[in-house]
Structure 1
Amino acid sequence: MPSSTIVGDGGLSTLEQEYYSERLNQYAFLMAEQYMRQSNLNTANSGILNPHSWNRNNSNSSRTSSQSIFGDQLGREINQIRSSSSQRNGVNRGSRFATGSRFANGVGRQRFGQEERGQGLNLMSTKNQRPGNGSTRQHIPSYYSVPLEELRGKIAFVAKDHVGCRFLRKKIEEGKTEEIDMIFNEVMNEGHDHLHELMVDQFGTDFIQKLVEGTNREGRAKMLDAVMSDERKLKDLCNDHHGSRALQKLLERIETREQQSSFTRILKRITVPLCKTQPGHYVIQVCLKNFSPDCLKSVLELVLDNCIALAKDRFGCCLVQNIVEYGYTEAKERVVADITEHARVLCEDPFGNYVVQFLIGLKVPRVTADILGQLQGYFVNLSMNKHGSPVVEKSMKEAGEENANMIIHELMNSSEFLNVLQNPYGNYVAQSALAVSKGSVHNDLVNIIRSNYPHLHSHLYGKRVLDKTRNRHRA
């Protein structure tokens, strides 16, 4: 066939296509090598990869320097070839291929997939490969295909990779004692702080959690001792999102009171700062749920001493609620007493109002009565407050009919009732009052609202309350 013959729809001669394919082949090798380097798996000296088949004619330095310019150079050459071929055939494809988009659309990627499988990548395998569909994502390695023994000395390094993490977790799940011991011994190597590094790593934290589940009681005790050996690192670990998750898993598996007491002796020195961070307060919650009251008493004393301040904190308010739910009797009573005493102030706080709502939601008659006693006379002001109005609604819905009627009467008899109906928050309180009230109380409430029709029918918020009164009267 003559060299000027057009092949397919690409507009290239046979000779030009061979040159084109060879250049793409070289670029594919560079792409693969760069991917392996970026994924931290190119450790040729340690034997994990077999790089001897990768473009042997180039030195390491020349590869590194050429990668940044090779793609642009290849694109320009392709563009020149295609432009000249298109001009010979009377076709103007310059705008289409100005940026080398033919390669970007998938030319040469089938070759990349085939060469990758044939060039001795002896560490990793791939799944669901469909060469030639225009996507290199399907060539991303999905699992390791080497015996665990070949990774000896590199376990901590491999665990920080998303593929390596899955591989090691699978080995732990298989439950072979000798493999778990090998993995554990490398993580707990005294010469390196691999445990802390992995606990705060994005993928390492999942590996450590699986190792906690797979090791025995003695192994977990060693891991706990390593965590407690440095107070500064422990604080950093508790305040790290990944580290907190791994530490929680470890604390859930602590079984002896001696270990619990040892941990709380260190924890109490950093308790208050931890209560005000998202990862930190989760650590204390896990201790609260799993440790014995005697071991946790010193930590809870610090929390109780700062109860109101923590109740106004974004994360501290969650911890205060957990003390009521999981704490020992004396701690619960002290929290309830403090919250009840400061209920009115907490109702107007962005986070404290959730603590008051939580106590009301427990539906303990004595606690509910004490809280509503503190709030009596302030329901009108609270109804028009952004954070207080949900507390009023919660009280009417869950504090019982008698308490609901008391709140509704206070609202109806106030000179500010019209303002409540027209308030951005108060109108929701009025709607809740209509929903929970019954009998004569409901009828009186409907009549008072309707008597303010001239002020409500065209008001942005008032008309919402007025619409609720048009429903059928309750008996």
Structure 2
Amino acid sequence: MNIVENNDYSPKSLPSSHLPLSSPYSASSSVDLSLLSSNDIIILSKDQHGCRMLQKKIDDDCSTNLPIIFNATYKLSSALMLDPFGNYLIQKLMISATPSQLSLIIIEITPNIGKIATNLHGTRALQKLIGCLSTPNHHDLIAIAISPQVVNLVHDLNGNHVIQKLISHFFGDDLDFLVDLIIIHLIEIASHKHGCCVLQKLLNKCSPYQIQKISNEILRNSVHLMKDQFGNYVIQYLISLDINGINLQLLRLVANELVPLSCGKFSSNVVEKCLKLNPNGCTVNDNIHPLLAALINIQTLMSLIKDQYGNYVVQTALEVADWPVKCVMAEMVRPMLPNIRYTNYGKRIHSKVVSILAELDNNNNNNDNTGGSHSPTYGSHSQSTPKTAGGTHRSNINTNNNLLPGINFSAHV
């Protein structure tokens, strides 16, 4: 059914005997709806005062007046949902309607649901309808109606709120249709300013199985999404869910692309968030963080320190690393200190490294005074982190075991 416009009707066409002379219509509750034709009720529903009068009629005597108003208007549900005044009446009908009446409204609006969802008035009425759904049949009908429009609605200023309302109202298997559609169109949804918000809300509502399904597709496209201005928020939100198996896979992916991701405007935020993870529930004293292991490389550090975004990754690494790892990084950076001291991107790193080295030198002096052993010299030490087949990452730091006592560099994620 196409949206019906009722431009042919005007209040002047109402029989004068049916309405009191003291218009506006809301001024009187004495109008007998049974004396009005369907056309009369439709006209009233799209008039500011008439709409209020009809809503009051429902409040005053729902059992008598609701069927009269519903039967006169439900076939024009699409037009009323788009109308500045009629949308309030249709919302009132939705609240008071029986399940079968609600099903009739859904069926009537299905051909026009895309236009309704993206309309300023229609989106509110449609969200109200979703909030009133109460039976499995309702859920099935609305899923069938909205499925062809999901991507368009997610991208729309008004339509995305309809999808978010669905996510809020539906539970469990009822969300499967939405999960499956978003997986198919993941990149175009996750990389959109409204879509990334919808996807985060969906991840927060899904069952563990549904989350895993979505996460598998996110992981397949993770590097692309990390570099995207909106997609990176999806990755960060997934990380914040703290699902260990998923986060370990993300750490491997990031470690294998550490330098380009660290130097990206948006992806560098993801790298910093990954650095704050504690993989596999292990402390750094047992297994060094895979990203820190990848960072303990002179060439890598030099590249990142000089980069406008990469330097923030190094700063975060110096903040989150345990003391032995901080010492190794600080000693590697020591020769670079004169060159980075006055650079725009190196000032803060210079300050952090100088502070670490001062504490390290102070500890060494205390060891000298107490007859303790010297801490090893790190300045000439260089390592690299190779990539293994299949894209997995293994920390394979070729280092002296005395360099970082208590840290197992051969451990892998």
> What is the CA–CA distance in structure 1 between the aligned matches of 2:334 and 2:71, rounded to whole Å?
74
Deviates more, 1:398-407 or 1:381-390: 398-407
Q: Say if 1:241 and 1:413 are closer, same or farther in 2 by CA, change over 3 A.
A: farther
Verify the 8 A CA contact 1:43 1:49 in the aligned structure 2.
no
Q: Is the 8 A contact 1:169 1:211 kept in 2?
A: no
The one-letter code matched in structure 1 to 2:138 is Q
**Structure 2 residue 199 is matched with structure 1 residue 199:** no
Which residue of 2 is the match for residue 378 of structure 1? 257
The one-letter amino acid paired with 1:422 is K
Does residue 156 of the first structure (1) align with residue 45 of the second (2)? yes
For 1:289 and 1:269, the matched residues in 2 are separated by: 20
CA contact (8 A) 1:396 1:407 kept: yes
Mark the CA change 1:327 to 1:453 in structure 2 (over 3 Å): closer, same or farther: same
- AA matched with 1:388: S
Distance of 2:108 and 2:135 partners within structure 1: 18
Offset, 1:392: 0.5
Distance 1:443 1:296, change over 3 A: closer
Structure with more contact order per residue of length (Cα contacts < 8 Å, sep ≥ 6): 2
Partner of 1:452: 336
When residues 459 and 293 of structure 1 are mapped into structure 2, their CA distance, relative to the original with a 3 A threshold, is: same
1:310 to 2:189 alignment: yes
Q: Deviations along 1:257-305, whole A, 9 cap, x unmatched?
A: 1121122223223334333334334333333443354455345333323
Structure 1 unaligned spans of 5+: 1-41, 51-121, 125-143
Match of 2:28 in 1: 147
- TM normalised by structure 1 equals 0.59
Match for residue 293 of structure 2 among 409, 421, 427? 409
AA of the residue aligned to 1:408: L
Aligned pairs for 1:220-239 (under 5 A) are 221-239=100-118
Change (3 A) 1:412 1:227: same
**Match of residue 395, structure 1, among 266, 269, 274:** 274
The answer as to 2:358 corresponding to 1:358 is: no
Contact 2:46 2:83 in 1 (8 A): no
Residue 9 of structure 1: aligned partner: none
Mapped to 1, the partners of 2:263 and 2:113 lie a distance apart of 45
Query: Residues 448 and 271 of structure 1: is their aligned pair in 2 closer, same or farther, counting only changes over 3 Å?
Result: same
Match status 1:461 vs 2:345: yes
CA distance in structure 1 between the partners assigned to 2:85 and 2:278 by the alignment: 47
8 A Cα contact 1:341 1:374, kept in partner? no
* Contact persistence 1:421–1:461 (CA under 8 A): yes
Deviation at 1:328, TM superposition (A): 4.2
Instruction: State the 1:180 CA deviation.
Output: 8.6
List per-residue Cα deviations over 1:206-232 (Å, max 9, x = no partner): 66545544x14x1x6424422432443
Tell me the residue number matched to 1:368: 247
Q: In 1, Cα distance between the equivalents of 2:332 and 2:89?
A: 65
Q: Cα gap change, 1:304/1:231 in structure 2, threshold over 3 Å: closer, same or farther?
A: same
CA distance in 1, matches of 2:350, 2:107: 62
Tell me the amino acid that sits aligned with residue 189 of structure 1: A
> Matched residues in 2 for 1:176 and 1:433: separation?
63
1:48–1:433 CA distance, 2 compared to 1 (3 A): farther
Letter in 2 for 1:196: S
Name the residue aligned to 1:27: none
Amino acid at match of 1:392: V
Any idea what the Cα deviations from partners look like across 1:142-193, whole Å, max 9, x if unmatched? xx7x33446974642344x8xx88x679959xx8341696478446624872
Q: CA RMSD in A?
A: 3.9
- Once residues 342 and 143 of structure 2 are traced to their aligned partners in structure 1, the CA distance between those partners, rounded to angstroms, is 61
Moved over 6 A (4+): 42-50
State how 1:14-29 maps to structure 2 within 5 Å. none
Kept in 1: contact 2:154–2:194 (CA 8 A): yes
Residues 65-86 of structure 1 deviation map (CA, whole Å, 9 limit, x = unaligned):
xxxxxxxxxxxxxxxxxxxxxx
Tell me the residue number matched to 1:434: 318
Q: Aligned to 1:256, which of 130, 135, 139?
A: 135
Q: In 2 relative to 1, CA 187–460 (structure 1 residues): closer, same or farther, beyond 3 Å?
A: farther
- TM-score, normalisation: structure 2: 0.67
Shift of 1:448: 3.7
1:424 is displaced (CA, Å) by 2.0
Report the CA distance shift for 1:243/1:316 in structure 2 as closer, same or farther (over 3 A): same
**Aligned residue identity for 2:317:** A
Cα distance change of structure 1 residues 238 and 348 upon mapping to structure 2, 3 Å threshold: same
Alpha-carbon distance between aligned partners in 1 of 2:92 and 2:288, rounded to the nearest angstrom: 51
Worse-matched range after superposition: 149-158 or 220-229: 149-158
In structure 2, how many angstroms separate the alpha carbons of the residues matched to 1:277 and 1:440?
51
* CA distance 1:262–1:424, shift in 2 (3 Å): same
Deviates more, 1:334-343 or 1:443-452: 443-452
- The answer to whether the 8 A contact 2:117-2:158 is kept is yes
CA 1:158–1:358: 2 relative to 1, 3 Å: same
Q: CA deviation at 1:399?
A: 4.0
- Is 1:285 aligned to residue 164 of structure 2? yes
AA of the residue aligned to 2:46? F
Cα displacement (A) at 1:389: 0.4
Deviation at residue 362 of structure 1 after TM alignment = 1.1
Which of 170, 173, 178 is the matching residue for 2:61? 178
Contact 2:44 2:54 in 1 (8 A): no
Taking the aligned partners of 1:360 and 1:187, their CA distance within structure 2 comes to 49
How many pairs does the alignment contain?
Answer: 334
Q: Which runs of 5+ in 2 are unaligned?
A: 1-10, 34-40, 364-413
